[in-house]
Amino acid sequence: MMRLPKVNHRLSFLSLPPFSLPSLTTSVRTHGHLRTHHSKRFKSISTMPCRLGNLVPLNSIAAENVVSRSNASVSSTSTTEEEEALACKYQLPPPEIKDIVDAPPLPALSLSPQKDKILFLKRRSLPPLAELARPEEKLAGLRIDGKCNTKSRMSFYTGIGIHQLMPDGTLGPEKEVHGYPDGAKINFVTWSLDGRHLAFSIRVFEEDNSSSKLRVWVANMETGQARPLFQSPDVYLNAVFDNFVWVDNSSLLVCTIPSSRGDPPKKPSVPSGPKIQSNEQKNVVQVRTFQDLLKDEYDEDLFDYYTTSQIVLASLDGTAKEVGPPAVYTSMDPSPDQNYLLISSIHRPYSFIVPRGRFPKKVEVWTTDGKFVRELCDLPLAEDIPIATSSVRKGKRAINWRADKPSTLYWAETQDGGDAKVEVSPRDIVYTQPAEPLEGEQPEILHKLDLRYGGIYWCDDSLALVYESWYKTRRTRTWVISPGSKDASPRILFDRSSEDVYSDPGSPMLRRTPAGTYVIAKIKKENDEGTYVLLKGSGATPEGNIPFLDLFDINTGSKERIWESDKERYYETVVALMLDYEEGDLLLDRLQILTSKESKTENRQYFIQKWPEKKACQITNFPHPYPQLASLQKEMIRYQRKDGVQLTATLYLPPGYDSSKDGPLPCLVWSYPGEFKSKDAAGQVRGSPNKFAGIGSTSALLWLARRFAILSGPTIPIIGEGDEEANDRYVEQLVASVEAAVEEVIQRGVAHPNKIAVGGHSYGAFMTANLLAHAPHLFCCGIARSGAYNRTLTPFGFQHEDRTLWEATTTYVEMSPFMSANKIKKPILLIHGEEDNNSGTLNMQSDRFFNALKGHGALCRLVILPFESHGYAARESIMHVLWETDRWLQKHCVQNPTDASAELDACKDEVSKGVRDSDNQAVVASGGGGPELADFEHEGFYSLPR
């Protein structure tokens, strides 16, 4: 589960397919801001010596003119090629791959609050390594750029274009936001409530770095003219946590660097004493392998230095007023009526074993001008949150303003001490209370839940939807409540398995209120007094996803499908409601929605559809990002595992490929396992065969340009039904799933049986190493990026594993490919970021695994990328990763001389007999191809079901 996004956001953002973003850039919408950043590490460039034939570290050469170009195919085994492979220089992949990665990215889009304008937020291509090499501080799970006083490695926008949405549905000519310095880096773009102004941050890097801190600018949306918000040039933004938010149409609340702050604290040349940690009280404290933690008192002082902010209330007329004392503020949320502020901060005592999300946390209510009203809670340090999934912090959590009320708060409180293993009813209680309650007025119980609270969609006093879920059973429930009526009993609207995507009814569409919050949109039908809402869903079916929009009667449960995606050729989705800012219920006959439309070979475009005729008007015309692959072939294929579980994968073939004429191709299988509680759910089809083939900068699909067949995302369900733990049969199910996938592509005649490679990132790298150890007959080589290979190094859980190493020793040991390094005989390429900050995948994992492989004479190669984190960001790094991967595939897959037919026959015999090695045991998996389980899953923030 993931952090619950606030539904009272003040910005609409339209995301483009994966190709349009640098592959390892995240875009996050928080408090109405568009935040784009890379979670990577900075440090000064250092040159490391090479050890030829062993580990090959790469010199940190950041300039394009020192990149050694190697466009020739590595099908040649010449001395020159081998010398290049061992040289400590960044390389470029073949031009057919490089040109795709270097293609200019498409802009991000943002709708104005009144849906009358669209911003085109322009982006650059991959950043140079020099940007990643900027110094940074690792503090409390954060990586901070001290020069900018913000999180490290933020990407940015290079320009903002304004397009008017014309009455006929087309876009008017572009008007550029102007007035800011040339070369400025733009971040945190957010609309004012009335859509007349835009606020954003600007940073400009001078040669002496004197102007690298962020300043807040505002732009007039009619003229495009931008200017600084503050009259003084010495007011800088502190963007380590929250940054700024519109309070009303003419003023913003801004986290600034305190004007009284001096130079950073200096590290003592001699420590004041030893580093001591103690547990003399015998507390049970189990934590995951968090990285970048505070180490000593100096780190604590440095953390305070960079994270302490002074909140300032600034007006567009130039006036500014400090609000409250300086503190480590983590969020500031104005109430919908603009009279109050919900202020969160963290404070000492800090911890050396958990990140900042578990530090003592205080939540207060202030008036907008900074007058203290009351303290809602002051939560103590939380080092002892249980590792079991669905465990949360004790005390008040998920404190927010009601989106449908002027200034009413709500929150959840656990009744099980935050421990998911404790059986209690109710498990969570949701409370509500005015910002300033009357003397003696206690919080009102809004709803009691037996599962873990998952969020609320508000509408009005007669309607709200409350979500609860429980990971262990995958159960999710949606309740209908009437917040303003004590006599109306809550009732369950939906009760289902979160894994059962076929039964997903969708989620309610939201409309914007005049206060800038978002509530459930009520729909009115002519001559009908029913209470209708719109449910938007992905529409999973055995034929693939067919997104839909249903008109749903809350009272009767009846529904009418009023819109559905094209089923044959296109993949369409509902993006947003238009005209949602109008007062009163929305009329069905005047409904307008923004949709997207794409196909296997056609880029995503946006359309406006109007009722009752439902005529679609196209408003964008983005070009194909890589026309050289415009005619690639894509098919969603289905096959079956030996235990009867239905599996799917997406098969991509190069443009113009004909199996009858061209014969089988070398094939790259790229995947990431997922964990399930039932075979039926595991076998359900997810995704769509008609989606556009977006290609990120490190995507396996790049090798279509090298005439590979690509089997993308073959489902690898690891199933633990009932009380069974999925991890205890991980290897068995992993091998069975991939055997079925490999047999399918061979039987289709598109993949050469002895030229099939396997690869993956993070947990996919773990998968790759296990497959080469336990199913060497299937693959000729493997590529494993940023993985963890020894689970004894993550002893207090990983992914969704709730047991510790001491509770499941056999599972931890036998599932680790490190323990089977002696069995890996096929070539394996290991790649890892030197500064990996992901929980569980510290680069020591690859280093130790490489040494174990080398100690058994395995054909292996380890590439450590300077300055890179869990994902790779710099152009030099990414291009070299592609060069390494292409070289590995050409040498060990395309040129593979081994006749694998005998091995394949032996494999089939083995499958039919049900023979397995004694060590075919276990591991875990999380779905979705994401990173290791993050700490925020234990902080009480969950995704609303979709």
- Write out pLDDT tens, residues 315-365: 999 999 999 999 999 999 999 999 999 999 999 999 999 999 999 999 999
Q: Which amino acid is at 462?
A: S
Does residue 762 have an active-site annotation?
yes
Taking each helix axis as running N to C, give the angle between helix 901-913 and helix 730-747, from 0 to 180 degrees, rounded to the nearest 10: 130
CA separation for the pair 879, 872 (Å, rounded): 10
Ordered alpha helix ranges (H), 122-196: 129-132
Higher pLDDT, 857 or 22: 857
Q: pLDDT tens for residues 644-653? A: 999 999 999 9
Decide if domain 627-899 falls under CATH 1.10.3720.10: no
CA angle 550, 517, 412 (to 5 degrees): 90
CB atoms within 10 A of CB 929: 16
Quote the pLDDT of residue 596: 97
Nearest to 657 by CA among 751, 525, 581, 577: 751
The helix (run of H) or strand (run of E) holding residue 660 is helix 659-662
CA dist list (Å): 629 to 23, 96, 600, 651: 18, 10, 11, 15
Residue position matching structure tokens 């993931």: 2
Taking each helix axis as running N to C, give the angle between helix 763-774 and helix 730-747, from 0 to 180 degrees, rounded to the nearest 10: 80
Catalytic residue among 33, 163, 800, 870: 870
Is the separation of the CB atoms in 236 and 149 below 8 Å? yes
The pLDDT > 70 percentage for the chain reads 85
Residue position matching structure tokens 């083939």: 693
CA atoms within a 13 Å half-sphere pointing along the CA-CB vector of 313 = 20
Residue position matching structure tokens 């089977």: 820
**pLDDT confidence tier of residue 898, bands split at 50, 70 and 90:** low
The helix (run of H) or strand (run of E) holding residue 747 is helix 730-747
Quote the pLDDT of residue 87: 64
Higher pLDDT, 403 or 920: 403
Q: pTM to 2 decimals?
A: 0.86
Q: pLDDT tens for residues 499-529? A: 999 999 999 999 999 899 999 999 999 888 8
**pLDDT confidence tier of residue 277, bands split at 50, 70 and 90:** confident
Does residue 404 have an active-site annotation?
no
Give the torsion sign (CA, 310, 313, 315, 321): negative
Mean pLDDT of 623-639: 96
Catalytic residue among 836, 869, 886, 926: 836
Q: Is the pLDDT assigned to residue 48 strictly greater than 60?
A: no
Quote the pLDDT of residue 540: 96
Quote the pLDDT of residue 580: 86
The helix (run of H) or strand (run of E) holding residue 610 is strand 605-610
Mean pLDDT of 75-87: 55
Lowest mean pLDDT among 349-358, 743-752, 926-935: 926-935
Catalytic residue among 762, 820, 846, 877: 762
Nearest to 835 by CA among 866, 876, 877, 863: 866
Where would I find the beta strands (DSSP E) of 273-319?
309-315
Lowest mean pLDDT among 213-222, 884-893, 919-928: 919-928
Does residue 197 have an active-site annotation?
no
Quote the pLDDT of residue 81: 58
Quote the pLDDT of residue 86: 64
Mean pLDDT of 549-568: 96
Q: What are the residues whose beta carbons fall under 8 Å from the beta carbon of 370, sequence distance 6 or more?
A: 311, 313, 321, 322, 323, 324, 341
Q: pLDDT tens for residues 786-833? A: 999 999 999 999 988 889 999 999 999 999 999 999 999 999 999 999
Quote the pLDDT of residue 70: 39
Quote the pLDDT of residue 329: 98
Give the chain's count of helices (H) and strands (E): 12, 53
**pLDDT confidence tier of residue 896, bands split at 50, 70 and 90:** confident
Residues facing residue 860 across a β-bridge:
828
CA separation for the pair 650, 635 (Å, rounded): 6
846, 847, 852, 857 alpha-carbon torsion, rounded to 10°: 100
CA dist list (Å): 499 to 100, 227, 390, 549: 36, 50, 16, 21
